[in-house]
Structure 1
Amino acid sequence: MRAHHVRITTFIQATEDEDKVLDAIATFIPDEIDEDDIYLDVNETKGYFGNPIKVVNAEIKRSRAVRVFLENLKELLSDEDRNYILEHLDEKVDEEGTLYLRFNKQKAYLSEVKLDEGADVVQIRIKVKAFPMKKEAVVEDVREWLEE
């Protein structure tokens, strides 16, 4: 599977340690990716009840870094998580060709990778390169990538 870019997003609640949340994100980024290839953005905002929240976005755009990221991500996935993605693939890919994966943020901080559909997650969005750029083609590319 090839991709244009990868975006990793999560939230830092006022009760959370920012460094620990950044460590959770780092769980998904292999050491082989140069720091210069990762664009990190942290924005401060307010939650529904006025509580301070930080939104963290890490983006990887360079082709080589994206390839390394995808290889690493595939290795991190358990067989159970791969099967879950395959079973729900149609729901995980949108019409623009983006694959959406959500991982448990607390486990990621402990260097464990586990899919999670809850609220406290690290979201990974992968903009897949497919030809033709249709949802069906992207779903097939992701399926092949996970099954190889």
Structure 2
Amino acid sequence: MIQYITLRVNAHSTEDRSRVDQALDFFLQNIDSDKEKLVETISAEGHYGNPIIIYNAQITQRSKCRYFISFLKKELNPDDLEKLRSEISLRLDEDQFFYMKFDKQTAYQGKLELSSSSDAVTVKMKITTFPKNWDNARRFMEEVLE
């Protein structure tokens, strides 16, 4: 089962914050009408003193986690979905977290696309199995992404 899903995205000082908000909103649409309950913002400073706003959102309700998975499967193009399936073993760590990155600019445009960039919307899903077992988590993710 998916225990929770965490989304994280940074807004750099050179970016329009409203666009970053809109990119995150694309992922959270229909998850909760009160986005303020889901999203926390943190002010940080970059390596050269530049201001960065970090957005963190956490989805904890099972029904909303299932909805998020449906959203991913619906919005991802078939090639990206197949890439996720083929990389399950690479994206799942020993603590049973499954990691994905999505293009921030594409999300702003209302489209979902995998990314390898560090400037992306990162998604981390906590997978829970009983007993805790990496192989069981891998099999679970195979079923989820089917």
Counterpart amino acid of residue 14 in structure 1: S
Question: 1:32–1:5: structure 2 CA closer, same or farther, 3 Å change rule?
Answer: closer
The count of corresponding residues between Structure 1 and Structure 2 is: 146
Q: What are structure 2's unaligned runs of at least 5 residues?
A: none
Q: What are structure 1's unaligned runs of at least 5 residues?
A: none
Deviation at 1:38, TM superposition (A): 4.5
Q: 1:63 matched to which residue of 2?
A: 62
Q: 1:115 matched to which residue of 2?
A: 114
Higher mean alpha-carbon deviation, 87-96 vs 63-72, is at 63-72
Q: How big is the alpha-carbon RMSD for the aligned residues of Structure 1 and Structure 2? A: 1.6
CA distance in 1, matches of 2:35, 2:104: 24
Runs of at least 4 residues off by over 4 Å: none
TM-score normalized by the length of structure 2: 0.92
TM-score normalized by the length of structure 1: 0.91
CA distance in 2, matches of 1:104, 1:12: 13
What are the residue-to-residue correspondences of 1:10-89 with 2, within 5 Å? 10-31=9-30, 33-35=32-34, 38-89=37-88
CA distance in 2, matches of 1:37, 1:65: 16
CA distance in 2, matches of 1:68, 1:126: 13
Secondary structure of 2:145 counterpart = helix
Question: 1:32–1:50: structure 2 CA closer, same or farther, 3 Å change rule?
Answer: closer
